[in-house]
Copies of this chain bind each other. A is one copy, B any other.
């Protein structure tokens, strides 16, 4: 049987790693990494290739969307905006409309547009993205309705013979459930990188580190990567 083809967006973080592990059960995969001028890009790119090697992926594309850093407006790409340390009260109980400084304006639409162009050219019918709606940082472009609207727009903006579905297999999972699902599928967490702040050891205190550490702590599992600090976020 010829497997259908899927493009997986692989940032190098734990959500995209587990998303790849899930997509790998059903499809022949192509890995897409987006460089949008994020501070920790070199480390993320290393994780991307390590994950691609692990899954034996031949088709890899690095797309430079560096206009997102030119445009600015986010602490992830604009060095004039400080990366906030995690405030657990705010971070784990997101108030609607309270968007963190790490929000990159309309980032996921830029990413999905690039992914759709590639999928159309290589004949992939599925786009996998490891977006997480609940238990995430409250980015507006991580919600299921956004992906549904995007998929509808793809149908109108591509060739008549192109049919591309967006698959968000972890969108309704809590981050601790993503960790557990990844462990079941033997996802190589040791190859991943999530920290927004540094590239040597993960800081342990930025939003992304806090959400990740908390997920492992709640799942009762050890995060295999190195941290400068490992605060207890499970309480």
Cβ contacts under 8 Å, A72 to chain B: 121
CA distance A105 to B61 in the complex (A): 16
Cβ contacts under 8 Å, A161 to chain B: 97
Q: Which residues 158-206 of A have a CB within 8 angstroms of B?
A: 158-161
Cβ contacts under 8 Å, A63 to chain B: 67, 70-71
Stretch in A15-23, A146-154, A215-223 with 4+ CB within 8 Å of B: A146-154
* Total identical chains: 2
Docked-complex contact B99 and A106, CB < 8 angstroms = no
Known contacts: A70-B61, A143-B156. The answer to whether A113 contacts B109 by CB under 8 A is yes
Known contacts: A106-B120, A121-B72, A149-B152. The answer to whether A67 contacts B157 by CB under 8 A is no
Docked-complex contact A158 and B121, CB < 8 angstroms = no
CB-CB nearest in chain B for A74: B121
Chain B's nearest CB lies how many Å from the CB of A54?
24
Known contacts: A65-B67, A113-B106, A113-B113. The answer to whether A146 contacts B150 by CB under 8 A is no
Docked-complex contact A118 and B65, CB < 8 angstroms = no
Instruction: Name which of A73, A110, A117, A145 has the most chain B CB atoms within 10 A of its CB.
Output: A117
CB-CB nearest in chain B for A104: B117
**Residue A107 at the B interface, CB < 8 A?**
yes
Q: Which 7 A-B pairs give the minimum distances between C-beta atoms?
A: A63-B67, A73-B121, A141-B157, A149-B153, A105-B120, A110-B113, A146-B156
- Beyond A105-B121, A110-B114, A150-B157: 7 further Cβ-contacts under 8 Å? A61-B70, A64-B66, A71-B121, A105-B117, A105-B120, A145-B156, A150-B153
